[in-house]
Amino acid sequence: MMEKKFIYSILYDYYKELLKDNQANIIDLYYNQDYSLSEIAEDMNISRQGVHDALKRAEKSLTDFEDKIKLFYKYEKYQKAAEKIIKLTAEIDDEKYKETVKQIRNEAGKIINEG
Amino acid sequence: MMEKKFIYSILYDYYKELLKDNQANIIDLYYNQDYSLSEIAEDMNISRQGVHDALKRAEKSLTDFEDKIKLFYKYEKYQKAAEKIIKLTAEIDDEKYKETVKQIRNEAGKIINEG
């Protein structure tokens, strides 16, 4: 079970463009920059309760997006497959296939590094 | 340049869950099932102009989603990398690495088959 904070940070990375500006801002301040609700309230000049409610709505939006389009779930799968490919290539320790193995790793690396 | 019809069919597959029900329905009828605007209008009991406007809005939503979260773009990249990996493994034609190559292909196949 992943930590809640970590989950929302990741979902924010994937879906921030779909959030309303103020919701994106609140998620970022709370989950990435460790602001308290009161600090955000002061910063945005709204009530603490208002921040709390907007945060809950933003969290729900993020989990709804993931339920619907599963970007994080799918990407995790692709990444695991690519990592496994890189691991498997280590078994082909052969001068003859050195260049091919290098290219396979390079392709797998594209999948891993382009979240 | 991909055909417009093909693009919206694909974007629909990725993002239909984010569309309003009637928009999803119209895109599906028009782009996947080849209904005309008039046929959709009759089917949904709204005006042809109403269907046209809803279709344009739905198309815009789909391209906006893609602009924002790039699911199709990213997946195409991953898929190309995975296909290239499979192609590269053909160069390792060696009994010694048969099982490893099989596993690499299997992992790459997971990326290709899970759009």
Cβ <8 Å between B114 and A84: no
Establish if A21 touches chain B: CB-CB under 8 angstroms. Answer: no
For A47, other C-beta atoms within 10 Å of its C-beta total 12
Where helices occur in B16-112 by DSSP H, the ranges are 21-27, 37-44, 48-69, 71-89, 98-112
Could you state, in order of their start, the residue ranges of all structural domains in chain B? Answer: 4-69, 73-112
Q: What is the ipTM of this complex?
A: 0.79
Q: Quickly name the fold that domain A4-69 has.
A: Arc Repressor Mutant, subunit A (1.10.10)
Mean pLDDT of chain B: 94
Closest C-alpha among B71, B85, B62 to residue B16: B62
- pLDDT tens, A32-70? 999 999 999 999 999 999 999 999 999 999 999 999 999
pLDDT for the residue B113: 82
| CB–CB contacts below 8 A, A to B | 90
Measuring CA to CA, how many Å separate A64 from each of A104, B18, B22?
A: 36, 9, 19
* Residue B52, token pair as written in the block: 């046209």
A98–chain B nearest CA distance, Å: 10
Closest C-alpha among B58, B67, B46, B51 to residue B20: B58
Residue A20 predicted with pLDDT over 60: yes
Cβ <8 Å between B78 and A111: yes
pLDDT for the residue B115: 53
Residue B1 predicted with pLDDT over 60: no
